[in-house]
Every structure is written in structure tokens, then in C-alpha cells.
Amino acid sequence: MKTFRPQPGFVVQAYRYALDPNAAQEQALCSHCGAARAAYNWAVGWVTASWWQRRAEETYGVCEEELTEWRPWSLPSLRKAFNETKHTDPGFAGWWAENSKEAYSTGLANASAAFDNYAKSKNGKRKGARMGAPRFKAKRKARLSCRFTTGTIRVEQDGRHVTLPRLGTLRTHEPALKLLTRVQAGTARILSATVRHERGRWLVSFQVEVKRDLERVARPNVAVGIDLGVKTLAVMADSTGEVRTVPNPGHYDRARGQLRRASRIVSRRQGPDRRTGRKPSKRWEKANTALGKVHHRVANLREDALHKLTTAVAAEYGTVVAEDLNVAGMLKNRRLARRIADAGFGEIRRQLDYKTGQRHATRLVVANRWYPSSKTCSGCGAVKAKLLLHVRTYECDACHLVIDRDHNAALNLAALAAAAVTGTGVAGDQGTTQAVSKPRGADQKTRATRPRRKAEAGRAGGAALPHQRQTEARDRTQAEALTLW
């Protein structure tokens, strides 16, 4: 699979449109996506066959030099092996010529990437959760998707049709004039197109290399701090002292009634059963489609709201300060997981990252995860040792400031922008060895609450325990309270 690197002044972005194919075109789309799945399964079986063969030979005492050779899983190797066997393989002979070669290339490329990820994860070279070996894709569960990188890929002159290899001209559900105008002006070049079926609708996504100049923001000398929350989606405080509140739309909560009724209807229909091989009834398929439409509408509303918020922020302020939240850890809270997922904290951060760097002349400052934005007083800088989540009003013990908790956190984040440039020595400065003097509760230190540990510390004459010394060493090495992107 080719990797496109944009030229200076160019960015790679996607233009996605819904399709309105007729019956014959929809059948061709399903055939191409099925061919991609079949090629993926062939590649997985072809590579893993050598693994099982070697394992069987080892049980018979075959020496290492005489074992079956490992089959490579690079994309050129898979393509070469597939082209040699597609004419005689019973799974492809007789029908492989009905689809574009790009369909099979899509499956082979996905299989190659899956094996690469598995190997890197097993060797410890890939971040994230441990990945297992690639498995076969089931027809009833696999996502219908196919990518085209060569051939005729264009938007027609009327802006209401797109042309793809072997599929011909397909009508779009909405005009594609924005992409067509850029292509005609010479400021965009289509690199590839991917068709996908999601919740009852076919979509086409164009990967486009676009010439984009940075746009000047409305208030270049103003910095804003954004504090995300559940009750209120975002509280924005800028360096001029202005505070704005963005309410949480709660799209999922508002649609829970519809989802409950639609799910009840689905549960009362005869659905599929793997144990008995029972196929779903027509009424179950119809009810399940209606349930998917409700979920799709909620996802679209959430995406639209987040895009409008991040676009407005990136286009107005010269510096944006956001938090590096541990969203995966926050989702483990069973009382707030649904609302945190509905708010989309990670999506807001992702959109701000590319919109500030590729579209506007905006600087993005990401506060460190351990920076105590809520515990720090925005008036005098004092830090509370502990601030429970249900306490929504911040009361400073030093200067007696009383302010809303989220407003206080947003003001502290906005102050980080000036601290990062001037280096005033407050929390968030680059190059400082200690963020701010804080008693406890605002860093990574864990408190020993079990009586046994307290007794051991007492018997040791007040000496620090080994785990306490390790924690203190970690605290000393945490030099910066923010990261500049």
C-alpha cells in the first residue's frame, strides 16, 4: 500500500459523501467488498499454513534446517502468490475476474498490515494493547469495505456523480461541488477512494491532497484554556478574563427513549442463533436496521457538534490550551462512562490537534496530565491538597476566592499559555524542574492507607519505605507540566 506524503503547503484530508446506487450497482459494491474479504482470508490461510506445517514437523523430530520455510507476508509477496494461484484455487476460479484488481489488493494489503502489527506487538515494538494473530473474517460480521488506488477515480462535472473503477458512475446523495471546485482549480488531487457500507448506507471517501494556506485567526494575541467536563461540555476562559460555557448536548441521553423502544422491538423478533444455525427473520432485520439508524443519527449529531466547537475555537484564538486527559482510565468509572463517551473528549483533542496545525495559525499547548488545574487557585496560585469530584465550587483557603470549579480550571489553563512563553516559574513552564509546590494529591504519588504500611513506617523510625522512595524519585523526574504540539 502506497504511503502519500504531502508536499510543503499541502495536506492530505478526506471528503466523504453518501451514495445512492441502484440495484445492480449495489450488487457490484457488495461483490467488490466480498472479494476483498475473500482475499484477506486467503492471505491469512496461506501464511499461517506454513506455521502449522512447521509445528507439525517439529513434533515428528524434523531438524531446523529441513523445516518448511516461513511464508512472507509482505504485500508484494502476497500479490505474487495470489496471482499464481487465483486461476486454479477453487475459492476464486470462475469469478475473480468479475471484480476490479483493487478489491483483491485491498484484502491483501489489510492482511499484510495485520501480520505486521502482530509481529511488532509480539516483539514489543508497537504501543497499545497486545495484538493476537490475524484471524479469518466471517461473512456475517465483516465490514463491507474496498479501496481503489488506481484507475478512473473522479468527480463528474455535474457534481452529483462519481466514477470508480469497474463500478462505473454512481450518484451521490448530496452534491460534491466542494471537492469538484478544488480539483478544477488545481488545488486538490485525488489519491484514492474507499467505499464502505455503514448502517444501511453506502459511503465513498476520497483521500485528497489539498493545497491549504494557513488562515489568520480572529484574535491572534488571545489565549484560551478549555476545561472539558460532563455536566458542561467545555468551559473556555481566555487571557482577557472572558469566560464562555458550552453546554453538553447529551445526544445519547436524549435518544435513550428511542433506543430503548427500538431495542425492545429487536429483542422480540427472531434473531440469528449461531448454536442452532438459525437465520434471522425479515422482521428482525427490519427492526435491527431501524435500531442502527437511531445510533447513526446520534453519532452524526455528536460529530457535527464537536466539529462546530473545535472549528470555532481554532479560528478565533491564537493559542489554545487543552488538557491531556486519560480518557481510557476515565471510562472505567461505571457511573460516568456513558456520559464521558458521549461527550467525546478524545475526539475534541484530536480535532484541535489537526485544525490548529493545518488550517489556522494557532498554537496548541497541551497541559500535562498531572497538572492540578482544578486544585490550583486562579487568584493566588495556592494548591489544595484534595478536591473531591462532587465539590463544584472552589474555595481558596489562602485568599478566600470563591469561584466555580470549572471556571477556575479554565483560567489556570489559559495562564499556562503565557507561562510557556515567558517562563515565569509557575506550573507549566518548560525547563523547570518542579511544577509548583504542592503538599499532595496533585501528582502521581500514591498514599499508603493500609495500617500495616503505617506500622512498618513507624518501626523503621520514620524512614521512607522502598515504594515511597520510588514514588519520590518519579516526582523529581517530572520536570514539565505541559507538552507543546
Residues annotated as catalytic are 227, 323, 406
Q: Residue 86 and residue 92: Cα distance in Å, rounded?
A: 6
- Which grid coordinates are listed for 180? 469538484
Kindly give the residue spans of alpha helices, DSSP state H, lying in 123-237: 177-185
Residue with cell 518501626: 459
- Which grid coordinates are listed for 370? 498531572
Point out which residues pair with 17 in neighbouring strands: 204
- Tell which residue, 8, 9, 11, has the closest CA to residue 191: 11
Q: Residue 163 and residue 39: Cα distance in Å, rounded?
A: 24
Point out which residues pair with 201 in neighbouring strands: 198
The backbone torsions φ and ψ at residue 289, rounded to the nearest 5 degrees and listed phi first, read: -65, -40
For residue 173, how far is the Cα from the chain centroid?
26
User: β-strands 154-155, 161-164: how paired?
Assistant: antiparallel
Q: What is the DSSP letter of 7?
A: P
Q: Check: CB of residue 317 under 8 Å from CB of residue 238.
A: yes
CA angle 28–34–35, rounded 5-degree value: 90
Q: Check: CB of residue 131 under 8 Å from CB of residue 121.
A: yes
Q: Check: CB of residue 233 under 8 Å from CB of residue 329.
A: no
Q: Check: CB of residue 413 under 8 Å from CB of residue 226.
A: yes
H or E stretch covering 223: strand 219-228
Q: How many CA atoms lie within 13 A of 289 on its CB side?
A: 10
Q: Assign 3-class secondary structure to 302-342.
A: HHHHHHHHHHHHHHHEEEEEEECCCHHHHCCCCCCHHHHHH
